[in-house]
């Protein structure tokens, strides 16, 4: 399916326009001085080199290698980039950290983390934490990759079926239609119990006439790294690995027993393959309501010292260790500076207080 469309990361929405203004005027650089002891943790997923853009629906989860190199260069020149485990341990012991501390994290375990991200991190000497969904590295097709691949590969022009008593009819005629369908179906599936979600995903795949998928059937950008490459990354000294469950379910949608299995199995596989006990964890999806008090207790029982959400915010000394904030991927160097400086947090807070928009 060959298509041409604008990279969504380059769209100038109000947030990106504000970030551009703050960075180019120097406001962002000044703002960082107002909160020098706060830690900014950045989150990335996969990277892409644009060769397979026409095979992806969700470009935003995979920033370009060019943008990532700009991020690495700018952080190296202007910030103290430290290993996340060092930051968590310093906070646990009440020790001070360098001014303007930043941490880099990568989620899931994509092949592109090895092929595209790691050479750039190594070039700039930047440490990072890779939160690996161990089943992904073992060969399991993660549920959201499966949904995207089904929508890419189907020859159907529409999806017409019942979703829990509600009839839906989604056009799949154009790439834009398929992108919209991915967003709607993903949002619906995320709200279901893990068991119901997987059953409905089976039904969607059957309705759209797509046969069984393996990771080899996925676009290059959605494929996992191997355990051999994970070991090479770890041996280089810059990359530490953390837990991210085994098959990437939203833990709050699982039974307590299933949560325990996912957390424990992910930890065990990291120990078996890498020989190091993981101390940090990242919640799949990671929004409010995606984990529970039971989840946090299970993580503590497995020996994790800290767990990270996907809720925007700087990491403060008083934060709960099992619910630490992270920011998502920056779409440009300007957006990066506006985020790590804290300027964007103030911008969104102001818009919320003025009733213009809720904090994302």
Q: What does the pLDDT look like over 146-189, one tens digit per residue?
A: 999 999 999 999 999 988 778 889 999 999 999 999 999 999 99
Question: Is the predicted pLDDT of residue 11 greater than 60, yes or no?
Answer: no
323 and 269 part of one domain? yes
Task: Tell me, yes or no, whether 343 and 243 share the same domain.
Answer: yes
pLDDT band at 340 (very low <50, low <70, confident <90, very high): confident
202 and 251 share one domain: no
184 and 234 together in one domain: no
Buried-exposed string 186-211: b where 16+ CB fall within 10 A, e elsewhere: beebbebebeebbebbeebbeebebe
Q: Supply the pLDDT for residue 341.
A: 80
Asked if residue 232 and residue 325 are part of one domain, the reply reads: yes
Share of the chain above pLDDT 70, in %: 88
Are residues 247 and 282 both part of a single domain?
Answer: yes
d(CA 69, CA 287): 28
Q: What is the pLDDT of residues 220-272, one digit of tens each?
A: 999 999 999 999 999 999 999 999 999 999 999 999 999 999 999 999 999 99
Do both 106 and 154 map to the same domain?
Answer: no
58 and 102 in a single domain? The answer is: yes
| pLDDT at site 9 | 46
User: Is the separation of the CB atoms in 57 and 213 below 8 Å?
Assistant: no
Per-residue pLDDT at 84 exceeds 70: yes
> Residue 360 has what pLDDT?
44
Identify the pLDDT of residue 25: 75
| Same-domain status, 234 and 330 | yes
Whether residue 259 lies inside any domain: the answer is yes
Which stretches within 141-292 are classed as H helix?
Answer: 143-153, 175-190, 194-207, 227-235, 256-274
Q: What confidence tier does 32 reach under pLDDT thresholds 50, 70, 90?
A: low
In total, how many domains does the chain have?
2
Q: If you average pLDDT over residues 268-297, what whole number do you get?
A: 97
Give domain status of residue 293, yes or no.
yes
In a domain, 3, yes or no: no
- Residue 86 and residue 27 in one domain: yes
Average pLDDT across the chain, whole number: 89
Last residue of a domain, one of 175, 192, 213: 213
**Which residue reads 């989840």 in tokens?**
295
In a domain, 358, yes or no: no
* Cα-Cα end-to-end distance for the chain: 33
Encode pLDDT of 175-232 as tens digits. Answer: 999 999 999 999 999 999 999 999 999 999 999 999 999 999 999 999 999 999 999 9
The CATH number of residue 290's host domain is 3.20.20.370
Assess if residue 218 is contained within a domain: no
Is pLDDT larger for residue 105 or for residue 328?
A: 105
360 found inside a domain: no
Q: Is 113 contained in some domain?
A: yes
Rounded to an integer, what is the distance from CA 142 to the centroid of its chain? 14
The backbone region for 254, taken as left when phi is positive above 0, alpha when psi lies in -120 to 50, beta otherwise, is: beta
Q: Kindly state whether residues 185 and 253 are assigned to the same domain.
A: no
pLDDT band, very low/low/confident/very high, at 99 (cuts 50, 70, 90) = confident
Please compute, for residue 165, the number of CA atoms within 13 A of its CA located in the half-sphere on the CB side: 0
Percent of all residues in the chain with a pLDDT value above 90, rounded to a whole number: 71
Confidence of residue 309 (pLDDT cuts 50, 70, 90): very high
On whether residue 359 sits in a domain, the answer given is no
Which of 174, 194, 213 is at the close of a domain? 213
Average pLDDT over residues 45-72: 87
> Where a domain ends, among 159, 189, 213?
213
Q: What Rg do the C-alpha atoms of the chain give, in angstroms?
A: 20
**Which pLDDT belongs to residue 211?**
94
Average pLDDT over residues 7-35: 66
Q: What's the pLDDT score for residue 52?
A: 67
Residue 154: give the domain boundaries.
143-213
291 and 173 belong to one structural domain = no
């Amino acid at each position: 399916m060959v298509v041409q469309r604008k990279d969504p990361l380059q769209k100038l929405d109000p947030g990106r326009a504000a970030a551009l203004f703050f960075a180019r005027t120097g406001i962002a650089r000044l703002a960082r001085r107002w909160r020098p002891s706060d830690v900014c943790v950045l989150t990335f997923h996969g990277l892409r080199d644009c060769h397979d853009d026409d095979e992806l629906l969700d470009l935003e989860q995979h920033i370009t290698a060019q943008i990532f190199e700009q991020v690495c260069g700018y952080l190296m020149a202007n910030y103290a980039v430290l290993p996340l485990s060092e930051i968590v341990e310093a906070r646990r012991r009440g020790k001070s950290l360098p001014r303007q501390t930043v941490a880099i994290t990568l989620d899931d375990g994509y092949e592109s983390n090895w092929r595209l991200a790691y050479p750039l991190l190594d070039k700039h000497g930047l440490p990072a934490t890779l939160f690996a969904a161990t089943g992904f590295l073992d060969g399991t097709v993660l549920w959201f990759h499966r949904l995207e691949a089904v929508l890419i590969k189907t020859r159907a022009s529409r999806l017409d079926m019942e979703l829990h008593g509600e009839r839906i009819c989604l056009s799949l005629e154009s790439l834009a239609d398929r992108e919209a369908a991915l967003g709607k179906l993903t949002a619906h599936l995320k709200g279901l119990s893990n068991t119901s979600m997987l059953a409905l995903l089976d039904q969607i795949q059957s309705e759209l006439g797509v046969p069984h998928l393996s990771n080899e059937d996925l676009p290059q950008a959605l494929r996992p790294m191997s355990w051999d490459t994970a070991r090479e990354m770890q041996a280089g000294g810059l990359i530490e690995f953390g837990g991210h469950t085994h098959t990437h379910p939203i833990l709050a949608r699982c039974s307590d027993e299933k949560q325990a299995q996912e957390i424990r199995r992910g930890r065990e596989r990291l120990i078996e393959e890498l020989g190091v006990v993981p101390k940090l964890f990242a919640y799949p999806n990671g929004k409010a309501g995606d984990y529970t008090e039971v989840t946090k207790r299970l993580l503590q029982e497995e020996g994790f010292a800290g767990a990270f959400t996907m809720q925007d915010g700087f990491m403060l000394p008083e934060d709960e260790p099992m619910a630490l904030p992270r920011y998502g991927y920056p779409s440009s160097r300007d957006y990066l500076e506006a985020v790590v400086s804290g300027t964007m947090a103030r911008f969104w807070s102001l818009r919320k207080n003025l009733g213009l928009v809720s904090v994302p």
